């Protein structure tokens, strides 16, 4: 059983003051939750303030995107070195909003993943089908293609360092969560793809997060599934109360642990 990981994707929200307040409240609220890894991914403009507020805490800092070049004439982009400099350990890559709204391709995501690994980040690589694709019964095919292309050219040692987030696009920000069974079905499939790519031992070690309308009241059921290792949380991560509850409710009870085996 992998150690649970809860990551908050703040998207394009929060000022510097709001960031510091939110982080201080989260820190206090999850103080006792030592059996779960927690990451917050605020916007670029508040990363420095977040980094400072997270000093001496167990909560890690992540970014929501990153360019693959280290420096140069790339107006508007942020490099791995800059994210290192500000104290990021994680980086979300290939989020569906980047893929859909900003036309990011699997090939671009792959370059970013390789760069992130080169600079020792833990990339949270997002994959997931749209509603149209699910209704056309193409969900597995789409996820397989994104998996293979976004994670091309990674050696087994690098595969071990990634986190995968399965985020069905139809569940993001819609309040329409995948059922725990739907999530488990796709997570099992992703685990099989990992197995084919890098063998059973490695496949078991890679954490697969679920994302899409995760809330305090559905996290426990999702976490009860054997192949769900955590969550990537959007909307509910920018309110202290709901994020704290998600972190606390994500901790697997012993009774659930038995079922997971
Ligand atoms: P949501 O977003 O929790 O608001 O659905 C998830 C995400 O975009 O990562």
Which ligand 1 atom sits nearest the alpha carbon of residue 172? 5
pLDDT at position 259 over 80:
no
Distance 166 CA to ligand 1 centre (A): 11
How far is Cα 221 from Cα 115, in angstroms, rounded to an integer? Answer: 35
Domain annotation covers residue 161:
yes
Domain that holds residue 199: 15-246
Domain annotation covers residue 52:
yes
Distance 177 CA to ligand 1 centre (A): 10
Catalytic residue chosen out of the listed positions 97, 129, 167, 184 = 167
Q: Is 209 in the pocket of ligand 1 (CB under 6 A)?
A: no
Q: Is 235 in the pocket of ligand 1 (CB under 6 A)?
A: yes
pLDDT of residue 253: 60
Domain annotation covers residue 112:
yes
pLDDT of residue 257: 58
pLDDT at position 260 over 80:
no
| Structural domains of the chain, count | 1
Domain annotation covers residue 77:
yes
Domain annotation covers residue 6:
no
> Taking each helix axis from N to C terminus, what angle separates 16-29 and 240-249, rounded to the nearest 10 degrees?
30
Q: Is 8 in the pocket of ligand 1 (CB under 6 A)?
A: no
0.85 exceeded by pTM: yes
Q: How far is CA 121 from CA 47, 61, 92, 245, 248, in A?
A: 15, 11, 10, 27, 26
How confident is the model over 101-111, as pLDDT tens digits?
Answer: 999 999 999 99
How confident is the model over 229-250, as pLDDT tens digits?
Answer: 999 999 999 999 999 999 999 9
CATH value at residue 115: 3.20.20.70
How confident is the model over 72-98, as pLDDT tens digits?
Answer: 999 999 999 999 999 999 999 999 999
Q: What percent of the chain has pLDDT over 70?
A: 96
The mean pLDDT value for 20-26 works out to 98
Q: What are the backbone angles phi and psi of residue 220, rounded to the nearest 5°?
A: -65, -40
More confident residue, 163 or 260: 163
Determine which of 168-172, 191-195, 254-258 has the lowest per-residue pLDDT on average.
Answer: 254-258
In three-state secondary structure terms, 159 is helix
pLDDT at position 256 over 80:
no
Domain annotation covers residue 255:
no
Judge whether 195 counts as a catalytic residue: no
How confident is the model over 125-174, as pLDDT tens digits?
Answer: 999 999 999 999 999 999 999 999 999 999 989 999 999 999 999 999 88
Domain annotation covers residue 75:
yes
Question: Using CA positions, which residue lies closest to atom 3 of ligand 1?
Answer: 234
Average predicted confidence (pLDDT) for the chain: 95
Q: What stretch of H or E contains 209?
A: strand 207-211
Distance 38 CA to ligand 1 centre (A): 16
pLDDT of residue 177: 85
Judge whether 258 counts as a catalytic residue: no
User: What band does 176 get if pLDDT is binned at 50, 70 and 90?
Assistant: confident
Strand partners, 125: 93, 164
More confident residue, 256 or 62: 62
Domain annotation covers residue 116:
yes
């Amino acid at each position: 059983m992998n150690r649970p990981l809860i990551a908050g994707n703040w998207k394009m929200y929060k000022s510097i003051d709001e960031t510091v307040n939110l982080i201080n409240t989260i820190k206090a609220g999850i103080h006792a939750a030592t059996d779960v890894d927690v990451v917050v991914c605020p916007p670029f403009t508040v990363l420095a303030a977040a980094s400072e507020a997270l000093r001496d805490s167990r909560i890690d800092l992540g970014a929501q995107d990153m360019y693959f070049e280290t420096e140069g004439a790339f107006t508007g982009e942020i490099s791995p070195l800059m994210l290192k400099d500000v104290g990021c350990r994680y980086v979300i890559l290939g989020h569906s909003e980047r893929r859909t709204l900003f036309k990011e391709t699997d090939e671009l995501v792959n370059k970013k993943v390789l760069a992130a690994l080169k600079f020792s980040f833990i990339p949270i690589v997002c994959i997931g089908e749209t509603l149209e694709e699910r209704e056309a019964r193409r969900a597995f095919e789409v996820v397989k293609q994104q998996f293979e292309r976004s994670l091309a050219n990674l050696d087994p040692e690098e595969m071990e360092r990634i986190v995968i987030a399965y985020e069905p696009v139809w569940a993001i920000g819609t309040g329409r969560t995948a059922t725990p069974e739907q999530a488990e079905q796709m997570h099992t499939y992703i685990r099989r793809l990992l197995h084919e790519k890098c063998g059973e031992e490695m496949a078991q070690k890679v954490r697969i997060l679920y994302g899409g309308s995760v809330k305090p009241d559905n996290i426990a059921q999702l976490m009860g599934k054997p192949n769900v290792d955590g969550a990537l949380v959007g909307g509910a991560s920018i309110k202290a109360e709901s994020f704290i509850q998600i972190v606390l409710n994500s901790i697997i009870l012993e009774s659930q642990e038995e079922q997971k085996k």
